[in-house]
Structure 1
Amino acid sequence: MKVAEPNSRLFEVITYGPSDPIPAASSNHETLVIEILTNNYIVKKVYVDPGSSVDVLYYRTFESLKLTREQLTPVRTPLVGFGGNVVHPEGMVSLMVTIGRHPRCQTVPVSFAVVKADFPYNMLIGRPTLNALRSVYFTYHLNFKFPTPAGVAKVSSDMNAVRECYLATIQAAVTPRAVSKAEEKRPTVLSIDSIDPQKTGKPGRFEPGDEVEQVVLDEARPDQVVQVGAKLPSPLKEEMIHLIKDHRDVFAWSADEVVGVPSELMIHQLNVNPQARLVRQKSRHFGPKCSKAISDEVDKLLPAKMIHEIQYPTWLSNPVMVKKDTGGWRMCVDFTDLNKACPKDC
């Protein structure tokens, strides 16, 4: 059956019923493992995980696809597994991925997080790709369906690949082998999800301590003070303080001390939606105290070459003054409208 959307496009209604057989010799608890086409290669043993918020490409597969590190886009956001293990990606790479069989197939761009990890699968397809396909996932039948111009495509699990990957996982868990120290520290990734910086208390993450003590780094400069956790074990605390004092020259105690820092370390491009509507914020007026704090902050940033003057007679973002606990002022900028115009990414 076909139904018209409000914009008059037609799409197939996706249903499951008696005509959809249950995979033979299946307990219905197996994983969904498929094959896809990308970079002119057919990639088998692709694990489909609707619980993952990212698509993952394992590094050995990355190399097998004849991709190079120059094609990677740097990424700082770490990934966390189901057990709280943190994985730092090598970078992101965008590939065109074809799923399904011609003519019932779709080709979509997929942004993969490339990670180094021991895993029997070649890549992991998560929610971003499933959503891009507008797919309907059904674990009972071990397949998923999605609409295509030629009709509904159905992609079923490769049961032979499922068993091979399962046996490989069990064998790796019970067979001892000589490993390097780097491999000993490398976590086993089962299901990957992005870390939510708003959530705290997750396993395997350090939480800030309540009690700190002040440490003066240089007796000649009593203003150069850092805070160290008061409840740290004594040997660790002493080593940390000794290390910080030895490298106290890396700290910048004022804005003019960071002159000469390469601009590529602090400049990034904003991914602004070109269709976004221009917004003119109404100019705000500040009292004498806030105005003086703004002038003082600007006078610090100008000599350090962190900012420079430019004439925008119409478009601007207002400064926002926030009161510090110490009684001073922190100058922020109201980028609410800019944030709305920047598409969100992972």
Structure 2
Amino acid sequence: MHPRGVISFPVTLSDGTHSRTEEVEFLVLPATSKHDIILGREAIGDFNAHPSTAHGAVGVPTRTGVAIIHVNRHCFTTESSRPCKIPRQAQRTEPEKWILNKKFPDQTVIIGPSISEIVRTFLKQLLVKNIDIFAWQTADMTGVRRSISEHKLKVNPLITPIVQKKRKISPEQTKAMNEQVQDLLHAGIIREIKYQIWVANPVIVPKSNGT
């Protein structure tokens, strides 16, 4: 298996009282796993950590003391210090269609099945925290500077336009087209202007859901 690349970011190990942060390099692999990240031997050495499988814990020296980090305490039996088996959650096979904005339930966020449940939870929290950056309707698309996004019709002034025959559009397509144009007009994204020599027939392309 060939890694996609290498990323580096600070990792903090803490038991709630003592903590230590080190810069750790990670190989990015094109694979699914029940683990989000795996600390290798070099990272363990950078932290000077001392893991103990028997106790289900790892000790990390810090400036304020030794941080003792345990596995899930609720997973230990009362008869011995051996960790019990953690039941695996059923692995997803289909993408999750998640409603981020309840005001627009038809606009869902699709989350892939290979993402672990922990990352899935943090991803949803991140999206909810930044819900204001999404354009949920046409009116939300205002404020984009022309230096960022602008469409121009690059035409050659030496070329004579070719006259097209008027294309017939069904009443259903005409209604959909008018609604889209009115939304853009009300939002101030477009304005009415006349180019009588550059009039083109509109093309209506249906979406994958049939609308």
TM-score, length-normalised on structure 1? 0.32
Greater Rg by CA: 2
**Whose strand proportion is higher, 1 or 2?**
1
